[in-house]
Structure 1
Amino acid sequence: MFTTRPTLQGTFGMVSSTHWLASQSAMAVLEDGGNAFDAAVAAGFVLHVVEPHLNGPGGEVPIILAPAGGEVRVLCGQGPAPAGATVEHYRSLGLDLVPGTGPLAAAVPGAFDAWMTLLRDHGTKSLADVLRFAIGYAEDGHAPVERVGQTVETVRALFETEWPSSADIYLKDGKSPQPGELLRNRPLAATWRRLVAEAEESADDRVGQIEAARKIWSEGFIAEAIVRQAGRPTMDTSGEHHTGTLTAADLAEWTAGYEEPATYDWNGWTLCKAGGWSQGPALLQQLALLPAELPAYGSADYVHLLIEGCKLAMADREAWYGDAEEVPLHALLSDEYNKERRALIGEAASHELRPGSPGGRTPALSAQALAVAAGEPGFGHPDVPVAGAGEPTVAKDGATRGDTCHVDIVDRWGNMVAATPSGGWLQSNPVVPELGFPLGTRLQMAWLDDGLPNSLTPGRRPRTTLSPSLALRDGVPVMAFGTPGGDQQDQWQTHFFLAVALRPSVRGGVDLQGAIDAPNWHNDSFPGSFYPRAMLPGSVTVEAGLDESVVGELRERGHRVTVGDAWSEGRLCAVARDPRTGVLSAAANPRGMQGYAVGR
Structure 2
Amino acid sequence: MVSSTHWLASQVGMGVLERGGNAFDAATAAAFTLQVVEPHQNGPGGDMPLVFARADTKRPQVLCAQGPAPAAASPEAFKKLGIDMVPGTGLLAAAIPGATLGWMTFLRDEGTLSLGEVLGAAADYAENGYPASAKVVEYIGRMEPLFRQHWRPSADVYLPEDRVPVEGQLLVNTALARTYRRLIEAESEALADGASRRAALDAAIREWTDGFVAKGIERFAQTPWRDSTGTEHAGFLTAEDIRGWRPHYEDPVSVDFEGYTVCKPGFWSQGPVLLQQLALLSGLDAKPGTADGIHNMIEAGKLAFADREAWYGDTADVPGDVLLSAGYADERRRLIGAEASMDIRPGTPDHRSPVLPNLRVSGNFDASGLSGVGEPNAVAALLDSGPKPDGEARTDTVHVDVVDKWGNMVSAMPSGGWLHSSPVIPELGFPLGTRLQMAWLEAGLPNTLAPGKRPRTTLSPTMVLKNGEPVMAFGSPGGDQQDQWQLQFFLNHVRGGLNLQEAIDAPAFHSTHFPSSFYPHDSQTGVVVIEARAGEQLISDLKARGHIVGRAGDWEIGRMCAVSRDPRTGVLRAAANARGMQGYAVGR
Q: TM-score, normalised by structure 1?
A: 0.94
Aligned-partner Cα distance in 2 for 1:25–1:185: 18
Residue of structure 2 in register with 1:132 after alignment: 120
2:510/2:528 contact within 8 Å kept: yes
2:47/2:99 contact within 8 Å kept: yes
Assess, with a 3 A threshold, how the Cα gap between structure 1 residues 390 and 226 changes in structure 2: closer, same or farther: farther
Q: Which stretch shows the higher mean deviation, 171-180 or 273-282?
A: 171-180
DSSP 3-state at the match of 2:396? coil
Aligned AA (1:421): P
2:254/2:264 contact within 8 Å kept: yes
Residues 1:405 and 2:402 are matched in the alignment: no
Q: Which stretch shows the higher mean deviation, 87-96 or 404-413?
A: 87-96
CA drift at 1:433:
0.2
Q: Which blocks of at least 5 consecutive residues in structure 1 are unaligned?
A: 1-13, 377-381, 506-510
Of residues 251, 257, 273, the one that matches 1:260 is 251
Assess, with a 3 A threshold, how the Cα gap between structure 1 residues 348 and 489 changes in structure 2: closer, same or farther: same
Residues 1:239 and 2:240 are matched in the alignment: no
Give the 5 Å matches for 1:309-320: 309-320=300-311
Aligned AA (1:338): A
Of residues 73, 82, 89, the one that matches 2:70 is 82
DSSP 3-state at the match of 2:63? strand
Assess, with a 3 A threshold, how the Cα gap between structure 1 residues 318 and 570 changes in structure 2: closer, same or farther: same
Aligned AA (1:26): G
Give the 5 Å matches for 1:494-533: 494-505=487-498, 511-533=499-521
Aligned-partner Cα distance in 2 for 1:584–1:421: 24
CA drift at 1:177:
2.5
Of residues 545, 548, 555, the one that matches 2:543 is 555
Residues 1:358 and 2:349 are matched in the alignment: yes
Residue of structure 2 in register with 1:9 after alignment: none
Assess, with a 3 A threshold, how the Cα gap between structure 1 residues 38 and 436 changes in structure 2: closer, same or farther: same
Give the 5 Å matches for 1:253-292: 253-292=244-283
> What is the root-mean-square deviation of aligned Cα atoms in Å?
1.6
Aligned-partner Cα distance in 1 for 2:535–2:377: 28
The Cα offsets for residues 302-329 of structure 1, whole Å up to 9 and x where unpaired, read as 1000000000000000000011452211
1:482/1:493 contact within 8 Å kept: yes
Residues 1:17 and 2:4 are matched in the alignment: yes
Of residues 361, 369, 372, the one that matches 1:372 is 361
The Cα offsets for residues 416-436 of structure 1, whole Å up to 9 and x where unpaired, read as 000011000001010000010
Of residues 156, 163, 169, the one that matches 1:175 is 163
Aligned-partner Cα distance in 2 for 1:22–1:385: 32
Give the 5 Å matches for 1:88-107: 88-107=76-95
CA drift at 1:73:
0.1
Aligned AA (2:361): V
The Cα offsets for residues 361-407 of structure 1, whole Å up to 9 and x where unpaired, read as 1111112x2x537889xxxxx98844689746311100021310000
Residue of structure 2 in register with 1:4 after alignment: none
Residue of structure 2 in register with 1:302 after alignment: 293
2:138/2:386 contact within 8 Å kept: no
Of residues 370, 374, 388, the one that matches 1:395 is 388
Q: Report the number of matched residues.
A: 575
Aligned AA (2:549): V
DSSP 3-state at the match of 1:431? coil
Residue of structure 1 in register with 2:335 after alignment: 344
CA drift at 1:209:
1.7
DSSP 3-state at the match of 1:499? helix
CA drift at 1:194:
1.5
2:284/2:296 contact within 8 Å kept: no
Residue of structure 2 in register with 1:470 after alignment: 463
1:387/1:401 contact within 8 Å kept: no
Aligned AA (1:555): K
Aligned AA (1:516): I
2:387/2:395 contact within 8 Å kept: no
Give the 5 Å matches for 1:401-480: 401-480=394-473
Assess, with a 3 A threshold, how the Cα gap between structure 1 residues 291 and 584 changes in structure 2: closer, same or farther: closer
Aligned-partner Cα distance in 1 for 2:377–2:294: 26
Residue of structure 2 in register with 1:148 after alignment: 136
Aligned-partner Cα distance in 2 for 1:403–1:101: 14
1:62/1:274 contact within 8 Å kept: yes
Of residues 52, 63, 85, the one that matches 1:65 is 52
Percent of aligned pairs sharing the same letter: 55
The Cα offsets for residues 270-291 of structure 1, whole Å up to 9 and x where unpaired, read as 0000000000000000001014
Of residues 46, 55, 63, the one that matches 2:42 is 55
Residue of structure 2 in register with 1:220 after alignment: 211
Residues 1:120 and 2:113 are matched in the alignment: no
Q: Which blocks of at least 5 consecutive residues in structure 2 are unaligned?
A: 366-374
Aligned AA (1:468): P
1:389/1:591 contact within 8 Å kept: no
Aligned AA (2:426): P
Aligned AA (2:73): A
DSSP 3-state at the match of 1:249? helix
Residues 1:45 and 2:32 are matched in the alignment: yes
Residue of structure 1 in register with 2:182 after alignment: 194
Q: Which stretch shows the higher mean deviation, 325-334 or 28-37?
A: 325-334
1:331/1:358 contact within 8 Å kept: yes
Aligned-partner Cα distance in 2 for 1:127–1:340: 50
DSSP 3-state at the match of 1:399? coil
CA drift at 1:202:
3.2
Aligned AA (1:476): E
Aligned-partner Cα distance in 2 for 1:261–1:467: 11
Residues 1:211 and 2:199 are matched in the alignment: no
Assess, with a 3 A threshold, how the Cα gap between structure 1 residues 250 and 26 changes in structure 2: closer, same or farther: same
2:379/2:550 contact within 8 Å kept: no
Aligned-partner Cα distance in 2 for 1:241–1:466: 28
Q: TM-score, normalised by structure 2?
A: 0.95
The Cα offsets for residues 51-98 of structure 1, whole Å up to 9 and x where unpaired, read as 000000000010100110221000001000000001001011111110
CA drift at 1:198:
2.4
Aligned-partner Cα distance in 2 for 1:193–1:137: 12
CA drift at 1:342:
0.5
